[in-house]
Amino acid sequence: MLNEGRRRSCIKLVKARAVWCSVVFAAFAVTGATYAKDSDKAAVPERELQAKIAYCENCHGVSARGFHGFYPIPRLAGQQPEYLKNQLQAFIEHRRTNNIMFNVSHVLSPEMLDTLTESFHSLNPKPLTTPAPADLVSAGKKIYEGGIEKSDVPPCAGCHGADAKGSDQFPRLAGQLSDYIFSKLTNWDKERGQNPTNPDNSAIMAPIAHNLTEQQIKAVAAYLNQLE
């Protein structure tokens, strides 16, 4: 029989070993997860990735800066990866309606999706700016930073950041094409939330877009277009 002092010492030793084993197991788990993540990224051949980027640039412009056409096509450069993934999934689930983007989205493997969105996020070309009156840009800056209290429009910076570069599910707006922003905000309820049984965080923007006048939207779009 162990005396009380030795029994307590054994218990402490067992507990210490259990903690040590837990730490080691956790370390191996993290290392394994990191290795798996790296392996996933490595699973996409560089040649295949570049081919996919070139394919996207056919519409989204060189270096994914966006494209001014009959329908403005958005800038993807510098965009938040999580936001891009969510939007691509929204096309697949018909929460956003666009037949071209549905066809593009549903064939992407998880590995390609991760690598492609990270690649776009790493790009930082100069924005395609559209000349705008200084007073319009100034008005847009005021709305972006302070909102419009009487219209229940909160500061855009609250979600999209002071630099308008977004975070996680909230998209980067800095450098985005002004005509694209105007088109989206004036047609929000016609293009987003198309599957009411499967809502997403785009619902946050619905009342905000509705409460902005066209002139206010033009101002915000002009301000954001100038940001790098």
CATH number of 166's domain: 1.10.760.10
Band of pLDDT at residue 21, cut at 50, 70 and 90? very low
What pLDDT is attached to residue 67? 97
Q: Which two tokens stand for residue 158?
A: 């609250």
Answer yes or no: pTM beyond 0.75: yes
What pLDDT is attached to residue 42? 54
Rounded-to-integer distance, Cα 170 and Cα 211, Å: 20
- 168's torsion region: left (phi>0), alpha (psi -120 to 50) or beta? left
* Domain co-membership, 12 together with 98: no
Is 70 exceeded by the pLDDT of residue 16?
no
pLDDT digits (tens, 9 = 90+) for 75-99: 999 999 999 999 999 999 888 888 9
- Give SS3 for 79: coil
**How many structural domains compose the chain?**
2
Rounded-to-integer distance, Cα 75 and Cα 96, Å: 17
- Residue corresponding to tokens 């990191």: 34
pLDDT digits (tens, 9 = 90+) for 51-80: 999 999 999 999 999 999 889 999 999 999
Neighbours of 188 (CB within 10 A): 18
pLDDT digits (tens, 9 = 90+) for 119-172: 999 999 999 999 999 999 999 999 999 999 999 999 999 999 999 999 999 999
pLDDT digits (tens, 9 = 90+) for 187-200: 998 888 777 787 77
* Domain co-membership, 123 together with 183: yes
* Domain co-membership, 51 together with 38: no
Is 50 exceeded by the pLDDT of residue 34?
no
Q: Which two tokens stand for residue 122?
A: 């790493």
* Domain co-membership, 216 together with 197: yes
Band of pLDDT at residue 37, cut at 50, 70 and 90? very low
User: Using an 8 Å Cβ cutoff, are 105 and 92 in contact?
Assistant: yes
Mean pLDDT (whole number) for 7-14? 41
Q: What is the 3-state secondary structure (H, E, C) of 141-204?
A: HHHHHHCEHHHCECCCHHHHCCCCCCECCECCCCCCCHHHHHHHHHCHHHHCCCCCCCCCHHHH
| Dihedral pair phi/psi, residue 167, rounded to 5° | -170, 130
| Dihedral pair phi/psi, residue 147, rounded to 5° | 70, -170
What is the DSSP secondary structure assignment for residue 126, as one 8-state letter?
Answer: P
pLDDT digits (tens, 9 = 90+) for 180-189: 999 999 999 8
Rounded-to-integer distance, Cα 223 and Cα 20, Å: 55
Torsion of CA 107, 109, 112, 118, to 10 degrees: 100
What pLDDT is attached to residue 11? 40
| Dihedral pair phi/psi, residue 170, rounded to 5° | -90, 125
* Domain co-membership, 209 together with 222: yes
The domain of 218 spans 46-226
* Domain co-membership, 113 together with 218: yes
Rounded-to-integer distance, Cα 140 and Cα 214, Å: 12
* Domain co-membership, 57 together with 33: no
* Domain co-membership, 52 together with 26: no
List the single range of 2-6, 24-28, 71-75 with lowest mean pLDDT. Answer: 24-28
What pLDDT is attached to residue 198? 79
What pLDDT is attached to residue 74? 98
Is 60 exceeded by the pLDDT of residue 10?
no
